[in-house]
Amino acid sequence: MRASFLLLVASVASASVAPVRSRLISTSRYQRAGSALRSIASMNKGLSRCSSSVPRGVSAKATTLSQDELKRMVGYKAIDDYVTSGMVVGLGTGSTAAMAVERLGQLWQSGEIKDIVAVPTSVRTKEQAESFGIPLATLDTHPDLDVAIDGADEVDPDLNLVKGGGGALLREKMVEIRAKKFIVIVDESKLTDALGPGFPVPVEITPFCYEHTRAVLENLPTVKGNAKAVLRMGSSSNNQPDGDNIAVTDNGNYVVDLFFDKPIQDAPQLAKEILETVGVVEHGLFIGMTTAVIIAGSDGISVKEA
């Protein structure tokens, strides 16, 4: 059974653009399975009515939950709130997105959701979805998606993102830009005042003359003197060197990570300069694509909408 409970939304504002909207959400449904969802049920019981003069939150703090449990909370909520029978659903890549795939698989197997088709953004997401028997397709046959759900490495106040820490940035962007709604699921550690210093911006490049492309990226006007361009080594699924071989994506390409030591001042301009670089396939800046961000934090779950 899935239990309903009130969810409080954190307000967010930006001085330079129209503020991100916040609202009170009145229904989110979860199946109590495992310790994470038992914790959610406990939090629901502690939810209190708060006046506008008192900070809104829940009496059972989410700090009692592990990071994996926080990821499960937002992953399950995204599926429960945004996916219904008959939809075409984009499935993201990464540890948080995997929780959404898990929830979709549960509802598919139980028959609570029917007649769906999912478009995965990586080989590992495809394999996870197949383990639940979820029907899969590609953009070749299903180019228009009802919703796409994925995690993010950084989220700024305007809901712009850095994605691609898991190396699936090209497929993620190809799929998620085709969705009517793009729902991002994160824990509060991924929120930042500005993109850049907290997480490197990944850039997928062709293997041909990769060192030349890396050097060109490092000397772009918005990058030069502000960031180092580092070729990803080892596994493509993280940006930490964990092997002696060059990391290779699902598409057979390489990844250069741009490590900024200060906030990115103009993310759209940076994105433009990167894409205009010959040898670049795609970058991990997702600008103006987000419909809503579901956040698990110390005060429970909140939702920020574009």
User: Would you say the C-alpha torsion 229, 231, 236, 238 has a positive or negative sign?
Assistant: negative
Q: Do the beta carbons of residue 192 and residue 155 sit within 8 Å?
A: yes
User: Would you say the C-alpha torsion 99, 101, 103, 106 has a positive or negative sign?
Assistant: negative
Instruction: Write the CA distances from 160 to 51, 55, 155, 285, integer angstroms.
Output: 31, 26, 6, 8
Q: Determine the Cα–Cα distance for residues 44 and 59; give it in Å rounded to an integer.
A: 9
Crossing angle (nearest 10°) for helices 67-82 and 95-110:
50
Q: Determine the Cα–Cα distance for residues 201 and 270; give it in Å rounded to an integer.
A: 10
295 backbone dihedrals φ, ψ, rounded to 5°: -125, 130
Q: Classify each residue of 30-56 as buried b or exposed e, where b means 16 or more C-beta atoms within 10 Å of its C-beta.
A: bbeeeebbebbeebbeebeeeeeeeeb
Q: Is 234 left (phi over 0), alpha (psi -120 to 50) or beta?
A: left
Q: Are strands 88-91 and 145-150 parallel, antiparallel or unpaired?
A: parallel
Q: Has 172 been annotated as catalytic?
A: yes
Crossing angle (nearest 10°) for helices 123-131 and 95-110:
30
Q: Which of 69, 102, 154, 172 is catalytic?
A: 172
Enter the tokens of residue 225.
Answer: 């003197």
Return the HEC string of 33-44.
CHHHHHHHHHHH
Residues with active-site annotation: 172
